[in-house]
């Protein structure tokens, strides 16, 4: 026998299920009035500094079908790379957003400001990115990934540089479709499966 | 960088890596929807960065007075929801056994008959006009939370030919870092459907599944009013930071 550690183990995850919207975005789920408004409707308020961008995409399963019941959360810094609560952070950027796949098309949309680069513990800078967390029925533990941008310099990003199979880097990079417009699909499985993170 | 925690500790270290084998397996053929929705390739493992170590904060001003009372928060005329009245309570802690104060906890559940108020739920059991099925609260300075609700019913679901979900309440917790984000489910002590549920069985470590089963807590039950169930939640912790400024190799 040895001494016992005085640490705990994280509570195990369970799937968010098909009705996650009831708990997290009830107005979207058709339960208006429980709360004044759904949490995380937008990561920005009027006056947020930086370039406003819109990212559109879908969460696609291994058969090629776009999920209609996925919910996504995003977390990002402001245009200068500061997170809400940090000194000097843009007060108009909460940085947090909740959005869901459309129940008919499966498409999601995130309108925000383009984030700035964020320092890494090593001293290197991380290329601008938005962190995502994807939950849905059939996903037993929420999936973490990141959106990078094809019109930014991603060459020295510490995370992207760790991806051995270089073609897979492209799964984390939003493609520009117009001025301030990007496309970012999340593929759970199959060809071009998105790189998911254990971070 | 400003310390993002408010519990009096200097949490500058990286998040403790997840023990993935203590979580459900992503791919489980007995839970059919997981088959096309589980990644095939390994996750990319990396030490956390400020992007994961920071996270959204929500203040008490967010909350309405009935947000943690599911018996009344959807009632149109003050009539209580139908069902067995229960208090669900517990603490949110981290892996260092420290309370996680001032963090948002959200729950959602079926009504007493096992029906969700959702356009896609067409189970035979009726809707309760006074029950919506969602609630939220923020933990206090010691990480405690509580909800007043009704015990949800078990219900059948399309998976194998005759699968039933045990009584359960879904729980979403934020913590103080986006990398701590967790959604799980609370089950009820003594429910025979737990051991027949393919979703519960995605957790292969039995001791871990047991941690999702809330015990009856008569010390918190109120006579002639409600029973109580206790459900503690542990989020990822952060590594203690004594050597954090040393470079690799010390």
Task: Tell me whether residues A12 and B22 touch, CB distance under 8 A.
Answer: yes
CA atoms of A88 and B56, how far apart (whole Å): 16
By Cβ distance, the residue of B17, B39, B51 closest to A188 is B39
By Cβ distance, the residue of A23, A62, A195 closest to B44 is A195
Residue B244 pLDDT = 53
- Please give the order of strands across the beta sheet that includes B134-138: B134-138, B104-108, B168-173, B182-188, B213-214
Residue A121 pLDDT = 85
Could you identify the residue written with the tokens 């669900």? Answer: B88
Nearest to B177 by CA among A123, A6, A170, A83: A83
A107 touches chain B (CB under 8 A): no
CATH fold of B20-40+53-235 reads: Protocatechuate 3,4-Dioxygenase, subunit A (2.60.130)
Task: Give yes or no for residue B1 having a pLDDT over 70.
Answer: no
Q: Which domains does chain A have, with CATH numbers?
A: 20-187 (2.60.130.10)
Mean pLDDT of chain A: 97
Task: Give yes or no for residue A52 having a pLDDT over 50.
Answer: yes
By Cβ distance, the residue of A8, A11, A146 closest to B182 is A11
Residue B242 pLDDT = 62
Interface of A with B in 161-180 (CB under 8 A): 162-163
With left for phi above 0 and alpha for psi between -120 and 50, is residue A53 left, alpha or beta?
beta
**All residues at 6 or more sequence positions from A183 whose CB lies less than 8 Å from its CB, including other chains:** A55, A56, A57, A174, A175, A177
A-chain residues within 8 Å CB-CB of B61? none
Mean pLDDT of chain B: 93
Nearest to B20 by CA among B241, B240, B236, B169: B236
The share of chain B scoring above pLDDT 70, in percent, equals 92
| Residue A137: HSE in the Cβ half-sphere, 13 Å Cα cutoff | 15
Residue A40 pLDDT = 97
What is the tens place of the pLDDT at every residue in A160-184? 999 999 999 999 999 999 999 999 9
DSSP state for residue B15 in the 8-state scheme: B
Indicate the domain borders of chain B: 20-40+53-235
Residue B10 pLDDT = 46
Contact A18, B31 (CB under 8 A): no
Q: How far is A105 from chain B (nearest CA, A)?
A: 16
Task: Tell me whether residues A138 and B134 touch, CB distance under 8 A.
Answer: no
How do beta strands B144-150 and B85-94 pair? antiparallel
**Nearest residue of A to residue B158, measured between CA atoms:** A18
Angle, alpha carbons A59-A15-A11 (nearest 5°): 130
Task: Give yes or no for residue B5 having a pLDDT over 60.
Answer: no
ipTM over 0.90: yes
Cβ atoms within 10 A of the Cβ of B228, count?
19
Task: Give yes or no for residue A108 having a pLDDT over 60.
Answer: yes
Mean pLDDT of B220-244: 91
The pTM assigned to this predicted structure is 0.95
How does residue B240 score in pLDDT terms, banded at 50, 70 and 90? confident
Active site residues of B: 116, 155, 165, 168, 170
């Amino acid at each position: 026998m040895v001494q016992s550690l005085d640490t705990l183990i994280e509570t195990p995850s369970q799937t968010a299920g098909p009705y996650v919207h009831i708990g997290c975005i009830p107005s979207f789920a058709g339960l208006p009035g429980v709360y004044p408004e759904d949490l995380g409707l937008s990561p920005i308020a009027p006056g947020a500094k930086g370039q406003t961008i819109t990212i559109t995409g879908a969460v696609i399963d291994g058969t090629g079908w776009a999920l209609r019941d996925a919910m996504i959360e995003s977390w990002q810094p402001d245009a200068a790379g500061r997170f809400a609560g940090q000194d000097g952070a843009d007060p108009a950027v909460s940085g947090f957003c909740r959005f869901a796949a459309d129940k008919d098309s499966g498409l999601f949309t995130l309108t925000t400001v383009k984030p700035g680069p964020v320092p890494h513990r090593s001293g290197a800078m991380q290329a601008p990115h938005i962190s995502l967390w994807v939950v849905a029925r059939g996903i037993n533990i929420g999936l973490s990934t990141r959106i990078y941008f094809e019109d930014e310099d991603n060459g020295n990003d510490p995370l992207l540089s760790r991806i051995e199979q270089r073609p897979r880097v492209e799964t984390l990079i939003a493609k520009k479709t117009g001025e301030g417009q990007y496309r970012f699909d999340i593929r759970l499985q199959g060809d071009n499966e998105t790189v998911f993170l254990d971070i | 960088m400003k310390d993002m925690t408010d519990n009096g500790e200097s949490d500058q270290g990286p998040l403790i890596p997840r023990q993935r084998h203590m979580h459900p397996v992503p791919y489980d053929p007995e839970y059919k929807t997981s088959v096309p929705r589980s990644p095939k390739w390994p996750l990319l493992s990396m030490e956390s960065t400020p992007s994961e170590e920071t996270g959204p904060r929500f203040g008490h001003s967010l909350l309405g007075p009935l947000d943690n009372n599911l018996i009344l928060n959807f009632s149109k005329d003050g009539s209580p929801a139908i069902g067995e009245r229960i208090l669900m309570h517990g603490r949110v802690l981290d892996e260092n056994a420290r309370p996680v104060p001032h963090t948002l906890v959200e729950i959602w559940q079926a009504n007493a008959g096992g029906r969700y108020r959702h356009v896609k739920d067409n189970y035979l059991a009726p809707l309760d006009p006074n029950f919506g099925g969602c609630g939220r609260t923020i933990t206090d300075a010691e990480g405690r939370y509580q909800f007043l609700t009704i015990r949800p019913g078990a219900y059948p679901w399309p998976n194998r030919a005759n699968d039933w979900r045990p009584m359960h309440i879904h729980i979403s917790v934020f913590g103080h870092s986006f990398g701590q984000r967790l959604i799980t489910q609370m089950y009820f002590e003594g429910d025979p459907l737990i051991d027949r549920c393919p979703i519960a069985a995605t957790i292969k470590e039995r001791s871990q599944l047991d941690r999702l089963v809330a015990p009856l807590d008569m010390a918190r039950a109120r006579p002639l009013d409600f029973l109580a169930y206790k459900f503690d939640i542990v989020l990822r912790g952060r590594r203690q930071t004594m050597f954090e400024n040393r470079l690799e190799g010390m």
